[in-house]
Amino acid sequence: MKIILAADHAGFTMKEVIKKYLEEKEYEVLDCGTTSGDLSVDYPDFGFKAAEIVASNKADMGVLICGTGIGMSMVANKVQGIRATLCHDHYTAEMSRKHNNSNILVMGSRVTSIEIAKDIVDTWLTTEFEAKKHKIRIDKIANYENVHISKTFVEPFTCGKTGGRTFVINHPLIKHKLGIMRNKNTSSKDFRDLVHEVSALMIYPATCHLALEEIEIETPIEKTKISNLSGKKLAVVSVLRAGLGMAEGILKVIPNAKEGHIGLYRDHKTLKPVDYYCKLPNDISERDVFVVDPMLATGGSVASAVRHIKAKGAKKISLISLLAVPEGIARFHEEHPDVDLYVAAIDSHLDKNAYIVPGLGDAGDRLFGTK
Ligand code: RB5
């Protein structure tokens, strides 16, 4: 059985003890942090990660620990499919399995001793769910979730140590179109159309934080209030040249956004990226900026592009890429933990020429038919 552990700083010491205890009993233990009791951290950052791992069946059960157990319970129970139970003693641990089919055990390190915690863990892991009597109640919880919680197609992906956020947009239309783009027999014309379409679809989740305001208008029938984007200060910045295809698709959906362009080359002497072209809207510091670059490979050039864009005053930046690899994501977030990244897929790795594998080849060449 695979068990994922997570704790904040308050639960760190107890987590370490429980981890050793479970390993001695030959459970397979995964640990998603935190890694120290000295640094104050936020329990949602660790609780969500662990709960999502259980919800997606990458672990069978989870144990979460914070000071009281209350925060971790609130967090874990927000994740669809999770039944997190805060247990204080042998009895609540037993009941949480028998009656509630708990899949995450939560404990409070400041209210439960280590000895009791070990007993709780043992009891919780060895008690069976009494499905015959209680399944009907658990099914009612699942039914509520199915009806009221929309199935999200934006999946968070964690990589590296910095806490920068990556979102994988797992929408069926995007997956389908991306599959066609990967095919080497897809023509330049079709490839270009698909880049436009996929980018236009990706901008939906990337803009879901935009604020709305109500204004009054008159329909042909009567006066009514409508929602309007408040501020509307958006900018799409293409990293030349492959970003151009993405910007074209996105601007069909947000046509009032201003456009910027940045081009970089690597100086052979210093090996540092130099921007040979950078033209951004004058008021870039007031705009929500979407940087577009189809391939996040090593992460080096787009990290430099974002550094240059920040130097021109941009404050709120997101990066949208079609494909990325874990090492590129980690490198990017290391430099820009404040920039959210949206990708359509995360591929396996880079080959020796820094091409994404399996990838789709050179996006620029395929867009412009230059090869
Ligand atoms: C951290 O001080 C504390 O608030 C946290 O560990 C937990 O008890 C929250 O519910």
Q: Final residue of a domain: which of 71, 100, 130? A: 130
pTM above 0.85, yes or no: no
In a domain, 145, yes or no: no
Cα–Cα distance, 73 to 62 (Å, whole number):
12
CATH number, residue 98? 3.40.1400.10
Q: What spacing in Å lies between the alpha carbon of 168 and ligand 1's midpoint?
A: 30
CATH number, residue 294? 3.40.50.2020
In a domain, 139, yes or no: no
Pair 98, 224 in one domain = no
Pair 239, 345 in one domain = yes
**Ligand 1 pocket member 66 (CB < 6 A):** yes
CA atoms within 13 A on the CB side of 17: 16
Mutate to test the pocket of ligand 1, among 66, 73, 86 (most ligand atoms within 8 A of CB): 66
Q: What spacing in Å lies between the alpha carbon of 9 and ligand 1's midpoint?
A: 9
**Ligand 1 pocket member 162 (CB < 6 A):** no
For residue 276, what are the CA distances in angstroms to 142, 161, 261, 279?
55, 32, 11, 10
pLDDT of residue 145: 79
What burial class does residue 165 get, using C-beta atoms within 10 Å of its C-beta: 0-12 exposed, 13-18 middle, 19+ buried? Answer: middle
Cα–Cα distance, 281 to 312 (Å, whole number):
10
Pair 342, 282 in one domain = yes
The secondary structure of residue 230, as a DSSP letter, is: S
What burial class does residue 143 get, using C-beta atoms within 10 Å of its C-beta: 0-12 exposed, 13-18 middle, 19+ buried? Answer: exposed
Q: Final residue of a domain: which of 83, 102, 130? A: 130
Among residues of the chain, what percentage have pLDDT more than 90?
Answer: 76
DSSP H or E run through 131 = helix 131-148
What burial class does residue 319 get, using C-beta atoms within 10 Å of its C-beta: 0-12 exposed, 13-18 middle, 19+ buried? Answer: buried
Residue 275 pLDDT grade (very low, low, confident, very high; cuts 50, 70, 90): confident
pLDDT tens per residue, range 7-57: 999 999 999 999 999 999 999 999 999 999 999 999 999 999 999 889 888
- What does pLDDT average to over the chain? 92
In a domain, 58, yes or no: yes
pLDDT of residue 149: 62
Rounded mean pLDDT, 110-127: 98
The count of residues in the chain is 371
In the chain, the largest separation of any two C-alpha atoms, in whole Å, equals: 73
In a domain, 322, yes or no: yes
pLDDT of residue 212: 85
Taking a C-beta distance cutoff of 8 angstroms, is the pair 317, 339 a contact? Answer: yes
Pair 157, 117 in one domain = no
- The SS3 of residue 47 is helix
From 237, 277, 239, select the one nearest 257 (Cα to Cα): 237
Q: What spacing in Å lies between the alpha carbon of 71 and ligand 1's midpoint?
A: 6
Taking a C-beta distance cutoff of 8 angstroms, is the pair 248, 278 a contact? Answer: no
Count of structural domains within the chain: 2
- The SS3 of residue 75 is helix
Q: What spacing in Å lies between the alpha carbon of 124 and ligand 1's midpoint?
A: 23
Pair 234, 331 in one domain = yes
- Nearest protein CA to atom 9 of ligand 1, as residue: 71
More reliable by pLDDT, 269 or 313: 313
pLDDT tens per residue, range 242-268: 999 999 999 999 999 999 999 987 776
pLDDT of residue 161: 58
Residue 144 pLDDT grade (very low, low, confident, very high; cuts 50, 70, 90): confident
Pair 90, 173 in one domain = no
Pair 190, 291 in one domain = yes
pLDDT of residue 94: 98
Taking a C-beta distance cutoff of 8 angstroms, is the pair 263, 278 a contact? Answer: yes
Pair 45, 118 in one domain = yes
pLDDT of residue 271: 65
**Ligand 1 pocket member 46 (CB < 6 A):** no
pLDDT exceeds cutoff 80 at 124: yes
Cα–Cα distance, 197 to 249 (Å, whole number):
6
Taking a C-beta distance cutoff of 8 angstroms, is the pair 322, 200 a contact? Answer: no
**Ligand 1 pocket member 43 (CB < 6 A):** yes
pLDDT of residue 338: 86
Q: Which residues are identified as catalytic?
A: 8, 66, 68, 99, 134
In a domain, 326, yes or no: yes
pLDDT exceeds cutoff 80 at 153: no
pLDDT of residue 232: 67
Residue 270 pLDDT grade (very low, low, confident, very high; cuts 50, 70, 90): confident
**Ligand 1 pocket member 35 (CB < 6 A):** no
- Nearest protein CA to atom 7 of ligand 1, as residue: 67
Q: Final residue of a domain: which of 130, 160, 191? A: 130
pLDDT of residue 211: 83
Residue 230 pLDDT grade (very low, low, confident, very high; cuts 50, 70, 90): confident
From 127, 52, 71, 119, select the one nearest 94 (Cα to Cα): 127
In a domain, 143, yes or no: no
**Sign of the Cα pseudo-torsion (156, 160, 164, 168, in order):** negative
In a domain, 87, yes or no: yes
pLDDT tens per residue, range 169-206: 988 899 999 999 999 999 999 999 999 999 999 999 88
Pair 352, 235 in one domain = yes
For residue 181, what are the CA distances in angstroms to 56, 64, 186, 355, 359?
27, 41, 6, 15, 9
- The SS3 of residue 200 is helix
The amino acid at 358: P
For residue 27, what are the CA distances in angstroms to 19, 53, 59, 76?
9, 17, 11, 22
Residue 125 pLDDT grade (very low, low, confident, very high; cuts 50, 70, 90): very high
Pair 105, 186 in one domain = no
In a domain, 138, yes or no: no
pLDDT of residue 180: 97
Q: Which domain holds residue 336?
A: 150-368
**Ligand 1 pocket member 70 (CB < 6 A):** yes
Pair 251, 107 in one domain = no
Pair 220, 97 in one domain = no
pLDDT exceeds cutoff 80 at 273: no
Rounded mean pLDDT, 84-109: 98
